Amino acid sequence: MKKPPSLYEWIGGAERLEALFTRFYDQDHVFADPLLKDVFAHMGAEHPKHVALFVGEIFGGPKAYTEHHGGHAGMIRHHMGRHLSEAQRQRWLQLLLQAADEIGVPDDPEFRSAFVAYLEWGTRLAVINSQQDPATTPDTTAPMPKWDWGVPGGPYQPE
C-alpha cells in the first residue's frame, strides 16, 4: 500500500505555503484588521516566509525552520510576553482560512480537517506561550511538532 503524501506535499509545498502567508500578512488582511494590526505592526519583511517554513516543517517538509530559526523553542520565544487574547487568536484563524480560500489551498474535507486542527492547536499554544515572561527560557528540548492526517497520538509523532 502506497504511503499517503504529507500535508506539506498536499498543500503544494514551500511555494504554496509562502503564497498563503504572504497573502495573509498583506495589507488587506492582518494590517487592515483593528484587532490584529498592532500585534504585527513591527513585523519584519521576512515574517511570512519564516511562518511558512515553520508550518511547512510541521506538515512534513524540510527542517529549515529548525536549522535556521531555532525550532519550536524559537517560535515560542517569538510569542512570549505578547499577551495575545482569545479574540485575537480567533480573528487570526478566521483571516488565515479566508486567505487559504483566496489562494486556492486544497479544500477537500480530509485536508481541511487536518489543516484546521493544526491551526486550532497551534494558535491556542501561541496564546498560552504569549502569557509567559519574555525573560523565561523556553524548553529547548521540546521537539518540533509533527502534524499528519489525523493519526491517533496527537501532534508529536516519532521520527
What digits encode the pLDDT tens for the residues 88-123? 999 999 999 999 999 999 999 999 999 999 999 999
Residue matched to cell numbers 488582511: 29
pLDDT, tens digit, 9 for 90 and up, residues 34-77: 999 999 888 888 999 999 999 999 999 999 988 998 887 778 88
Q: What is the pLDDT of residue 152?
A: 47
User: Which spans in 80-133 are helix H?
Assistant: 86-103, 109-130
> Whole domain around residue 40: which residue ranges?
11-130
- Among residues 33, 75, 28, 31, the alpha carbon closest in space to that of 53 is found at 75
In a domain, 39, yes or no: yes
Task: Please give the DSSP secondary-structure letter assigned to residue 138.
Answer: P
**In this structure, is residue 106 part of a structural domain?**
yes
> In this predicted model, which residue has the larger pLDDT, 81 or 11?
11
Cα–Cα distance, 79 to 134 (Å, whole number):
8
Whether 100 maps to a domain, the answer reads yes
φ, ψ of residue 147 in degrees (nearest 5):
-125, 140
Question: How many Cα atoms within 13 Å fall on the side-chain side of residue 63?
Answer: 10
So what's the pLDDT on residue 131? Answer: 86
CATH of the domain at 81: 1.10.490.10
